[in-house]
Structure 1
Amino acid sequence: MAKYTICLIEGDGIGHEVIPAARRVLEATGLDLEFVEAHAGYEYFLEHGESVPEATIEKVMATDATLFGAATSPSKKVEGFKGAIRYMRRRLDLFANVRPAKSHPVPGSYENVDLILVRENTEGLYVEQERRYGDTAIADAVITKRASQRIGEYALKLAQRREKKKLAVIHKANVLPVTQGLFLNTIMDEAKNYPDVQSYDVIVDAAAMHLVRNPASFDVLVATNLFGDILSDLTAGLVGGLGIAPSGNIGLEHAVFESVHGSAPDIAGQGVANPTATVLSAAMLLDHLGEHDMARKLENAVDQVLLEGPRTRDLGGTAGTQEFTDALIRCIK
Structure 2
Amino acid sequence: MSSYKIALLPGDGIGPETMAATELVLEQIAMEFSDLNFETISYRAGAENYRDTGVTLPDAVLEGCLAADAVLLSAIGLPDVRQPDGTEVQPTMMVGLRRAMGLHSAVRPVKLYPGAPCVLQNTGPGIDFVIIRENLEGLFASFGGGGMVGDDVATDTLIVTRKGTSKVAEYAFQLARRRSGRPADGKQIVTCVDKANVFRSMAFFRKIVNDASQSFPDIEHNAVYVDAMSLYMVQNPWDFDVLVMENQFGDILSDLGAGLVGGLGLGPSAEMGDDHALFQPSHGTAPQIAGKNVANPLATILSASMMLDWLGERHNDDSCLAAAAAIETAVAEVLAAQMVRTPDLGGASSTTEVAEAVAAAITKTPVTDTSH
> Of 59, 72, 76, which residue of structure 1 is paired with 2:77?
72
> Of 294, 300, 307, which residue of structure 2 is paired with 1:278?
300
Q: Distance in 2 between matches of 1:267 and 1:277?
A: 16
Task: Determine whether 1:108 maps to 2:131.
Answer: no
What displacement does 1:16 show?
1.1
Q: Distance in 2 between matches of 1:213 and 1:75?
A: 38
Report the identity percentage: 41
Structure 1 length normalisation: TM-score?
0.96
What displacement does 1:26 show?
0.4
Q: Which residue of 1 aligns with 2:104?
A: 95
Q: Which residue of 1 aligns with 2:9?
A: 9
Task: Determine whether 1:122 maps to 2:99.
Answer: no
Q: Distance in 2 between matches of 1:310 and 1:210?
A: 32
Task: Determine whether 1:25 maps to 2:25.
Answer: yes
> Of 318, 329, 332, which residue of structure 1 is paired with 2:359?
329
What displacement does 1:109 show?
6.1
Amino acid at match of 1:172: K
User: Alignment partner of 1:8: what SS?
Assistant: strand
Tell me the alpha carbon deviations over residues 234-260 of structure 1, each in whole angstroms, 9 at most, x when there is no partner: 111111110110000111111110000
Q: Distance in 1 between matches of 2:267 and 2:243?
A: 16
Q: Give the number of aligned pairs.
A: 332
Q: Distance in 1 between matches of 2:226 and 2:82?
A: 28
Contact 1:103-1:109 at 8 Å conserved across structures: no
Contact 1:99-1:116 at 8 Å conserved across structures: yes
- After superposition, the Cα gap between the structure-2 partners of 1:16 and 1:185, relative to the gap in structure 1 and judged at 3 Å, is same
Q: Which residue of 1 aligns with 2:246?
A: 224
Contact 1:101-1:116 at 8 Å conserved across structures: yes
- After superposition, the Cα gap between the structure-2 partners of 1:317 and 1:222, relative to the gap in structure 1 and judged at 3 Å, is same
Amino acid at match of 2:161: T
Q: Which residue of 1 aligns with 2:263?
A: 241
In structure 1, stretches of 5+ residues that fail to align are none
Q: Distance in 2 between matches of 1:50 and 1:188?
A: 42
Q: Which residue of 1 aligns with 2:39?
A: 34
Q: Distance in 2 between matches of 1:29 and 1:77?
A: 38
Amino acid at match of 1:230: I
- After superposition, the Cα gap between the structure-2 partners of 1:73 and 1:203, relative to the gap in structure 1 and judged at 3 Å, is farther
Task: Determine whether 1:50 maps to 2:73.
Answer: no
Contact 2:192-2:223 at 8 Å conserved across structures: yes
Q: Distance in 1 between matches of 2:228 and 2:12?
A: 35
What RMSD in Å do the two structures reach over aligned CA positions?
1.6
What displacement does 1:210 show?
0.5
User: Alignment partner of 1:289: what SS?
Assistant: helix
Contact 1:6-1:36 at 8 Å conserved across structures: yes
Q: Which residue of 1 aligns with 2:196?
A: 173
In structure 2, stretches of 5+ residues that fail to align are 31-35, 181-186, 313-319, 364-372
